[in-house]
Structure 1
Amino acid sequence: MTNERKPQILVTGAAGALAQQVINRLRDNYQLVAVDFREQVYLGDDIPSYCIDFNKRVFEDLFRRFQFEGIIHLGRIMSSQETRMRRYNANVLGSQKLLNLAHKYGIRRVIVLSTYHVYGASAYNPALIDEQAPLKGVGLSMDLVDSIELENLANIYLWRYPDLNITVLRPCNIVGPGVRNSISTLLASRRAPVLAGFSPMMQFIHIDDMADAIVLAYRNTVRGVFNVAPDDWIAYQHALQLSGCTRVPIPSIPPVLPRTIARLLKMKSFPSYLMSFFKYPVVIDGRTFRDTFGFKPKRPLKEIFRYYRENKHPV
């Protein structure tokens, strides 16, 4: 099959490990175009790659040049990266531009990667949080406002333009080789902070399984919002122990104290605006995605933690 006959897909966030895993799974059957506003990455001679700010006019040139069937939007800046304003410009304004162009150029399939952080961490969270639960993340931290607004945008376009066939995925903690988010950095460290008296239940999904989930979602056109998580969970401190980390207790009260200590010790992997996630459990219910798409993670927790135990400085 020649590239000209293959359906064309725009993949954003191409510099990230997850996007590259997704690209590797799709490249044989689709003509992919990779975009990242942070850097241009080489993914092979068969995949055009661009470093473009979504808010610039030249971004639309890609939609004129290629006939995209779909978009896999993985280019969200995580809460642990960049300044609040830069995250907002990229995650919210950039995503709005992307969705506007998708509608303008007749895109028929859109996947948007969100995060379980939108639910917020609270002592009053239910044992299992389903997709109908309120998004309380913004009420707990202004640093998560861009994640909430990205979701709100996606939901507006989901119902306003059903022809876009938008699917929003809210995964739990994505971990594994190449992942550089806050929790992965903690699992990879030799000494990891914990809040004294707290060890909330957490969920982890291997990057390979998350890439499979995204591909599965793209190939099976079902609109809506879906949690993505395995059926098991584990206490945070136990996860650190299994990953070979020495736990460093930090006083949890008064509330300003752990934030101050993390800032003084320059613990970027323990950001103040995610502090509540290290106190209260946020366990999401992934059954709807599992049943709708036939998803079953292949990488168990013991394999995830063994990787971090054996690779304290993962690439």
Structure 2
Amino acid sequence: MTEQRRPHILITGAAGALAQQVIEQLRDTCDLVAVDFREQVYLGDDIPSYCIDFNKRVFEDLFRRYQFDGVIHMGRIMSSQLTRMRRYNANVLGTQKLLDLSHKYGIKRVVVLSTFHVYGAVAYNPALIDESAPLKSAGLSADLIDSVELENLANIYLWRYPELNITILRPCNIVGPGVRNTISTLLASERAPVLAGFSPMMQFIHIDDMADAIVLAYKKPTRGVYNVAPQDWVAYQHALKLCGCKRFPILSIPPAVPRFILSTLKLKSFPSYLMAFFKYPVVIDGRAFAKEFEFTPKRPLKEIFRFYRDNKRPV
């Protein structure tokens, strides 16, 4: 009797904290291959790790060599990390190459990590945004065009190639140990800027819960687009208070003023498009994902905020 073959899974964005959490959850039951085009990361002798540009021919060699069953694509580059053109090449053209190869080599399961930022932050957003809402952010900021195009690409492949079983996840703000995005930097700061007169409702999901959500999604091949967020939210300024941050009000007009102050606070990577997210609420409805994948976050807001209160980074 031959031993059953373990699933072979390609995981992109392997240098990120979230990808490494997902890898930890899957490594005992799956054969994993890790890829990141920014850097090569050592994940143990049992997991091959590569630093490869998806648009290079050598990327296809991995599909031939490892005969993947599935792909978990977490390699989206944030706006603060590269120039706009390089980011577009990585996020959009790189994702297209990944999906083309997935189709060519008969991949049976693809999970794509997107972001709630694709909805855009505007004053007239509904109280709870569900998955059918239009993606307004491309019209609001050039910095989010590649995020929306990445999603549009994944949606095209979702319908054109149903055998790929594509699931697109749009999480709210991912925070917690190891996360180095803008909102996490602010919550961990001694002093954090707030826009005078604004304190929009925000949602936060702990990195552990988001890793659980991705693994649950991978294991149940339900096609579609899903928001991932807990059913609780908090005003931004109150969140800062609970994290022990001293709030630093700044005027939102002209935009040069907050940008200047953010640079003096050593937040040089603060993307300008995020300014709107600190003005207007973008509260997403995560109930469809919770129901379909039987997902319940384990880390409440008070635990998230306690972590940041206890782990302050001096600015």
Is TM > 0.5 for Structure 1 vs Structure 2?
Answer: yes
Q: Distance in 2 between matches of 1:77 and 1:4?
A: 36
Q: Distance in 1 between matches of 2:81 and 2:181?
A: 9
Across the aligned residues of Structure 1 and Structure 2, the Cα RMSD in angstroms comes to: 1.6
Query: Could you list the per-position Cα deviations for residues 10-53 of structure 1 after superposition, in whole angstroms to 9, with x for gaps in the alignment?
Result: 00000000000000000111000000001111111111110101
2:197: which partner in 1? 197
2:38 is the counterpart of 1:10? no
2:136: which partner in 1? 136
Q: Distance in 2 between matches of 1:54 and 1:140?
A: 28
Q: What 5-or-longer segments of structure 1 have no aligned partner?
A: none
Aligned partners of 1:262 and 1:271 also within 8 Å: no
| Map 1:156-171 → 2, pairs under 5 A | 156-171=156-171
Q: Distance in 1 between matches of 2:313 and 2:16?
A: 17
Query: Could you list the per-position Cα deviations for residues 129-178 of structure 1 after superposition, in whole angstroms to 9, with x for gaps in the alignment?
Result: 00000000111110001100000000000000000000000000000000
1:225: which partner in 2? 225
Deviation at 1:255, TM superposition (A): 4.4
2:103 is the counterpart of 1:100? no
Deviation at 1:83, TM superposition (A): 1.6
Q: Distance in 2 between matches of 1:125 and 1:42?
A: 43
SS in 1 for 2:69: strand
Q: What 5-or-longer segments of structure 2 have no aligned partner?
A: none
Letter of the structure 2 residue corresponding to residue 132 of structure 1: S
2:312: which partner in 1? 312
SS in 2 for 1:68: coil
Aligned partners of 1:3 and 1:31 also within 8 Å: no
- Deviating above 6 A after TM superposition, structure 1's stretches of 4 or more consecutive aligned residues are none
Deviation at 1:184, TM superposition (A): 0.4
Q: Distance in 2 between matches of 1:83 and 1:302?
A: 36
Please identify, of 266-275 and 194-203, the stretch whose mean Cα deviation from structure 2 is larger.
266-275
Deviation at 1:256, TM superposition (A): 4.6
Q: Distance in 1 between matches of 2:89 and 2:102?
A: 18
Count of equivalent residues? 313
2:176 is the counterpart of 1:179? no
Letter of the structure 1 residue corresponding to residue 172 of structure 2: C
Q: Distance in 2 between matches of 1:113 and 1:21?
A: 14
Q: Distance in 2 between matches of 1:266 and 1:215?
A: 35
SS in 2 for 1:5: coil
Aligned partners of 2:201 and 2:233 also within 8 Å: yes
Q: What TM-score does the superposition give when structure 1 sets the normalisation length?
A: 0.96
Aligned partners of 1:183 and 1:269 also within 8 Å: no
